[in-house]
């Protein structure tokens, strides 16, 4: 037996189902839009904000950069040349403080015989955001100044904006992976796969002894106590003592009037799978 259904009823049911589907898709799209801001594109790069799941007063977010093939951007300490990114969050709403967490950089030639520090292809800088009021919405408004370089450098300005929702975020896995690339705080002699064993003065140079697997790649970066310290990138010493890899850097690039004695240095030791950060005082 064939059951006949009036065409008008079919149309009404179809329209209702379609409306319900579009409503669901609209809600899904809206939720995902809150997890990230739109990409702000430049000719050689793009940047956007990411929001992690919100719970309480401290939020996790990120600043995502995409770079064109062959182009690079810079770490907080750019090395022999380059410009570090600058961030201003002063126009944000319900934000007490923002802390940028920097993934370990890579080294690359700057085209002028020097070495710069930064990122290629893509990078996510995690952020810890403290809300003024945990019960109110948080809107992050960022004013970002950064440079992208190939043979020449191009300055870029961007002002992404993102409101953090109190729901689960589709960006949690991305932000968790980015956190894994941030150097882990450590102290000299810690039993990590790679570690700093000793730091000592040798006249106008500093020697840093590192313990690392025999065939593992390892790099070392040094920073002074303030951004106006421009210490050189440490180089590997060929004749290292048994059981260690020795790095050396000259005490050059100090600000006028600064003395190295007692200076607080930050050493970032970068391995293939993990990086560690050591704070030391020169004797």
pLDDT digits (tens, 9 = 90+) for 206-262: 999 999 987 788 999 999 999 999 999 999 998 888 889 999 999 999 999 999 999
Q: What percent of the chain shows pLDDT beyond 70?
A: 88
For the cut 60, the answer to whether the pLDDT of residue 14 exceeds it is no
- Tell me: do 101 and 212 sit in the same domain: no
**Residue 20 reports pLDDT greater than 50:** no
Q: Residue 257: which CATH number?
A: 2.60.40
The pLDDT mean for the chain works out to 87
Q: DSSP secondary-structure letter at 274?
A: -
- Residue 246, domain member (yes or no): yes
Q: Is the pLDDT of residue 49 over 90?
A: yes
Mean pLDDT value across residues 63-79: 96
Residue 9 lies in a domain: no
Dump the DSSP string for 166-185.
SS--TTHHHHHHHHTTSPEE
Residues 248, 160 within the same domain: no
Could you tell me the maximum CA-CA distance found in the chain, to the nearest angstrom? 101
Cα-based angle 138, 88, 60 (whole degrees, multiple of 5): 40
Phi, then psi, of 136 in degrees rounded to 5: -115, 155
What are phi and psi for residue 64, nearest 5 degrees? Answer: -100, 130
The reply to whether 190 and 155 lie within a common domain is no
Point out the domain boundary residue: 141, 156, 179: 179
pLDDT at residue number 30: 40
204/127 same-domain check: no
């Amino acid at each position: 037996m064939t059951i006949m259904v009036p065409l008008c009823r079919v149309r009404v049911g179809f329209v209702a189902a379609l409306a319900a589907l579009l409503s669901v898709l609209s809600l899904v799209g809206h939720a995902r839009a809150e997890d990230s801001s739109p990409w702000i594109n430049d000719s050689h790069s793009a940047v956007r904000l990411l929001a992690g799941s919100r719970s309480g007063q401290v939020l996790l977010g990120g600043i995502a950069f995409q770079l064109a093939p062959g182009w690079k951007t810079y770490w907080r300490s750019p090395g022999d040349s380059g410009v570090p990114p600058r961030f201003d969050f002063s126009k944000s709403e319900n934000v007490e403080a923002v802390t940028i967490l920097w993934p370990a950089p890579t080294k690359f030639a700057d085209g002028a015989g020097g070495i710069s520090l930064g990122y290629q292809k893509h990078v996510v800088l995690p952020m810890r955001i403290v809300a003024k009021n945990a019960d109110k919405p948080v809107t992050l408004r960022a004013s970002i100044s950064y440079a992208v370089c190939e043979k020449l450098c191009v300055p870029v300005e961007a002002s992404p904006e993102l409101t953090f929702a109190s729901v689960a975020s589709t960006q949690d896995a991305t932000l968790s992976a980015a956190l894994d690339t941030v150097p882990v705080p450590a102290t000299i002699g810690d039993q990590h796969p790679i570690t700093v064993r000793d730091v000592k003065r040798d006249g106008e140079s500093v020697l840093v002894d590192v313990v690392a697997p025999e065939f593992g790649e390892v790099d070392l970066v040094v920073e002074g106590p303030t951004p106006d310290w421009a210490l050189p990138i440490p180089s590997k010493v060929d004749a290292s003592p048994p059981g260690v890899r020795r790095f050396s850097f000259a005490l050059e690039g100090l600000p006028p009037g600064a003395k190295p004695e007692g200076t607080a240095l930050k050493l970032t030791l970068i391995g293939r799978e993990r990086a560690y950060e050591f704070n030391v005082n020169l004797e």
